[in-house]
Structure 1
């Protein structure tokens, strides 16, 4: 059964005026770029794939970065690595806040630069710094990644989507220049299940959604994973944290039961607390997607 079957259609709406402008600018800057660092959320690698990436990276080297590796279990990382390799891609897993895996991303970008300057040299052209761009959905950790690549804080980074609004070049080294771009989400996202996952992970930018529906969906997704893929999620994170077993309840029922049990019947406060706990990792390493097939 579809996660959204019990809910009205188009429950996630956004009004990304600044994102539309940024996307237009980004397509202009991409003409100047050699390497694209595409950052996705390791909890939802498919939902954080922008449908225009294919056309944006045509003729360029792409480095696929799956950030927030600390929020999934090692076995989830392994199955995603295997799946992406089967698709002809090599994913680089990072925890940009702590710097884990960032060195490998830098090496991959610089390796692409070596090849580019070898081509320039063969044409009698002088070498130049490789130009790379970091793109992805809002709040997936792009600015944190850039700060780690630079080894100093020069790009504003915050735990809310849409912090980066302007396009700007940052010099990483003599060999590499990086463009930090605002988060880009599709102007339309037909797949509401993907939109719900983006909302759960706070990767959706300027959006309007019902916290209670989104939090109930989180519970439903976790329950579905427990039934079908228990090896890839922590044991009973909801019961461990809230002392209330979700097993006999739907996500929506659990929200109301938890509200009565812990939050004086305040369902909205319950929803916000559950989403905040998930986003902070307080429920453990819960992926919302696993490889298809």
Structure 2
């Protein structure tokens, strides 16, 4: 199925990215939020350059959407790379306290340096960054304990940078989702589209849904499609699966079927399905 490559870089993101790089000079600790279903694809390649030596807290959100055994495999994978991820379900408020304590601990070292120089301690300044719709605003609202910033299950809700005070100890900067101006890896771009971590204007639903079907078969989740839609994906391509299901239930409306498949995955109706496994990397 041929269609243009997935590229999406709206003006508000370009503007916010410049502002973010300015604000990073004032920040003590960085919380990078990844999508637990695609931890590698949802990591922004420029984050390391942006933050330099600042402490980074890695948050893998939507942990409820992957099986526990996959989570354990990722924990091992990150440990081998000397990283400790914090697992959250920001929507339900799970795993939030550990993230808050980690941010406070990272800031304690900064305040000790201030005391050593004869300066008064101040609130830790943290920034939450990541792709659009990975759950940054939901995480902030849970950390604050109230709805402090706009949050919704779609990309592009946060449009500008804003500081939110969590407590006397922490101030958080909510930044719009940041994406590379060019998505070099189109396989990653497709995964981001499947997970709705980039804006819908960036992609063709039918193309993305067809690749999604092929990906599920490749990852060993063919049975999920078979039992849910009563159609065997093992003998046909993802593109044919979309066509056959459209003919079967929607009078040939492939767009409707594509949206149905993506919606069922994104809302968890298909069950816990990771789109990346550690042994691939």
TM-score (norm. length: structure 1): 0.93
Structure 1 runs of 4+ aligned residues shifted over 6 Å read none
Please show how residues 184-223 of structure 1 align to structure 2 within 5 Å.
184-205=178-199, 207-223=201-217
* Preserved CA contact (<8 Å) 1:183 1:205: no
One of 246, 256, 259 as aligned partner of 1:269: 256
1:61 aligns with 2:64: no
Q: How much has 1:286 moved relative to structure 2?
A: 0.9
Q: Counterpart of 1:250? A: 237
Which secondary structure does the structure 1 equivalent of 2:60 belong to?
Answer: strand
**Structure 2: segments with no counterpart, 5+ residues:** none
CA distance in 1, matches of 2:182, 2:273: 27
CA distance in 2 between counterparts of 1:109 and 1:288 reads 29
- Residues in 2 aligned to 1:207 and 1:82: alpha-carbon distance in whole angstroms: 36
The alpha carbon displacement at 1:23 in A equals 0.3
| 1:143 has 2:143 as partner | no
Q: Which of 43, 46, 60 is 1:49 aligned to?
A: 43
How far apart in 1 are the matches of 2:151 and 2:55? 26
1:238 equivalent to 2:225? Answer: yes
Name the SS for the 1:13 alignment partner. coil
In 1, the alpha carbon distance for the partners of 2:7 and 2:32 equals: 24
2:128 is equivalent to residue 128 of structure 1 = no
- 2:24 aligns to what? 30
Partner secondary structure for residue 101 of structure 2: helix
The whole-number CA distance in structure 1 between the counterparts of 2:19 and 2:199 is 18
Residue 137 of structure 1: how far off its partner (Å):
0.3
Q: Which residue of the partner structure matches residue 5 of structure 2?
A: 11
* Whole-angstrom distance in 1 between the partners of 2:206 and 2:45: 28
Instruction: Give ranges in structure 1 of 5+ residues lacking alignment.
Output: 1-5, 227-232
Measured after TM superposition, the shift of residue 208 of structure 1 is 2.3
Q: Give 1:7 deviation, angstroms.
A: 4.1
Distance in 2 separating the partners of 1:147 and 1:135: 14
User: Displacement, 1:15?
Assistant: 3.7
Partner of 2:174: 180
- The count of aligned residue pairs is 280
After the TM superposition, which residues 106-117 of structure 1 pair with which residues of structure 2 at under 5 Å, given as runs? 106-117=100-111
Shift of 1:206: 6.0
Q: Scaled by the length of structure 2, what TM-score is found?
A: 0.97
